[in-house]
Amino acid sequence: MRLRFWPIAAFAFLLASPSAAELSAPEQKMTTFVDAEQERTVGMLAKWVDQNSGSLNSAGVVEVGKMLRTELEPLGFKVEWLDMKAAGRAGHIVARHKGNGRGKRMLLIGHLDTVFEPDSPFQRWDRQGNRGIGPGSGDDKGGMAVMIAALRAMRQAGTLKGADITVVLTGDEEDAGDPIEVTRGPLIAAGKWADVALDFEALAMKDGKDMGSIARRSSDSWTLIASGRTGHSSGVGRPDYGAIYELARIIDAFRREVGEDKLTYNVGLAGGGATAEMDEGRIRLNATGKTNIIAATAIARGDLRAISQDQIERTKAKMQAIVAQSLPGTTAQITFDQGGYPPMAPTEGSRALLGRLNRVNADMGLEPMAELDPMDRGAGDISFVAKDTDGLVGLGPAGAGSHAPGEWVDIASIFKQAKRAAILMSRLAKERR
């Protein structure tokens, strides 16, 4: 389907309107350029979506990386491919644009991979009116399309020349390699360099309104293993209860006693019996038992999501205290996985950055964006730099269905978001450090 463009008279009216009058001449040039490149941007995105880049498909991630290189290098970026084979993943792109050194140093974050591996039936781009349906169309190939469209508009208007920007596009955001300190090392280093981090994952919406996001919760996993003296079921509770009762006691106590604002914990896998064991990846559990045997072993795995490191530490201490209160004849241990996603706690600096974006919204004639409750977003790569720099989340496009067949992107939102990002970055590039 061919996109329609506004006639010249419509553009003239827009530029003469009070909202557009707040934009400088270069900013007006950027908005016009984004619209003029709509077909190019959609075609670019379709090409990326049609190349499978599941996190475990290293060859596919490399191919998408090559496509992004061809977009970034003509804009004056020095592009590096950082191989991550030693961590079991393809690698990352790190691209640097050297400006005049006077404005805010900006880190732009996105990712090359998707959750859809080559064996998924969901593989191709399909345009249906304003919807672009396909794997990664929103998360996060649509976000990278916004990023590239914004940077191209900045170059056209002359505002990119003085901007100091580092782009980090990870190849394993959806399934991080191990050890995570290695796979996120380049991103963390870029965060220490930056004054501002801009995350190009999906735009959040609530009640039909665009939302601003300045916080993300953590994502950690835990494993609980309960053991009990086994025997004939006729003796249960006299005094031994067995491993399954102990596991149930602990999980129910978590539900009742471990509660704080912005905190959640989930039980995603559980089982027990005379025997119970997990596979190597700890995503499958095999258990055996009979109704007349007291369970000897029970296992559960789940996640923990919190808004701050302090909240994580408090919660872990409470969980460990509950685990220690064993039923007669049982013992239990809880362990917390290493290498989870840290929290991005809200800060006044990030809130001020959202204020700058709302100034852009006002000058574009758009509604202000209220703060999104971090309970409404998952974890993401920007959290690895949150302790070192202020940030904004959700500069990518709107859409729905991420991580599921049928994922789609709102195509019109790509252009709106590209305009917002181009103007915001151009203004930040002029702010004194």
Q: How many CB atoms lie within 10 A of CB 38?
A: 18
The pLDDT of residue 390 is above 90 = yes
Mean pLDDT of the chain: 94
Whose structure tokens read 């090409």? 47
Q: Quickly state the pLDDT bin for 7 (edges 50, 70, 90).
A: very low
- 2-16, 60-74, 279-293, 306-320: least confident range: 2-16
The pLDDT of residue 13 is above 60 = no
Q: In degrees rounded to 5, what are phi and psi of residue 167?
A: -110, 130
CATH assignment of 220-336? 3.30.70.360
Mean pLDDT of 173-186: 94
The SS3 call for residue 260 is coil
Q: Determine the Cα–Cα distance for residues 414 and 153; give it in Å rounded to an integer.
A: 13
Contact 196, 105 (CB under 8 A): yes
Strand order in the sheet with 131-133: 126-128, 131-133, 408-410, 399-400
Q: What is the pLDDT of residue 18?
A: 41
Q: What is the pLDDT of residue 63?
A: 98
How confident is the model over 249-305, as pLDDT tens digits?
A: 999 999 999 999 999 989 999 999 999 999 998 999 999 999 999 999 999 999 999
Give this prediction's pTM.
0.89
Q: What is the pLDDT of residue 433?
A: 86
Q: Quickly state the pLDDT bin for 16 (edges 50, 70, 90).
A: very low
CATH assignment of 8-216+344-430? 3.40.630.10
For 269, the token pair is: 């896998």
Q: What is the pLDDT of residue 378?
A: 87
For 181, the token pair is: 């300190």
Answer whether 8-216+344-430 and 220-336 agree in fold: no
Q: What is the pLDDT of residue 12?
A: 39
Contact 345, 215 (CB under 8 A): yes
Q: What is the pLDDT of residue 21?
A: 52
- Cis check for the bond before 328: say yes or no (omega within 30 of 0): no
Contact 228, 243 (CB under 8 A): yes
Q: What are the extents of the domains in the chain?
A: 8-216+344-430, 220-336
The pLDDT of residue 412 is above 50 = yes
For 288, the token pair is: 């055996």
- What is the 8-class DSSP label of residue 340? -
How confident is the model over 39-83, as pLDDT tens digits?
A: 999 999 999 999 999 999 999 999 999 999 999 999 999 999 999
392: alpha, beta or left, given left = phi > 0 and alpha = psi -120 to 50?
beta
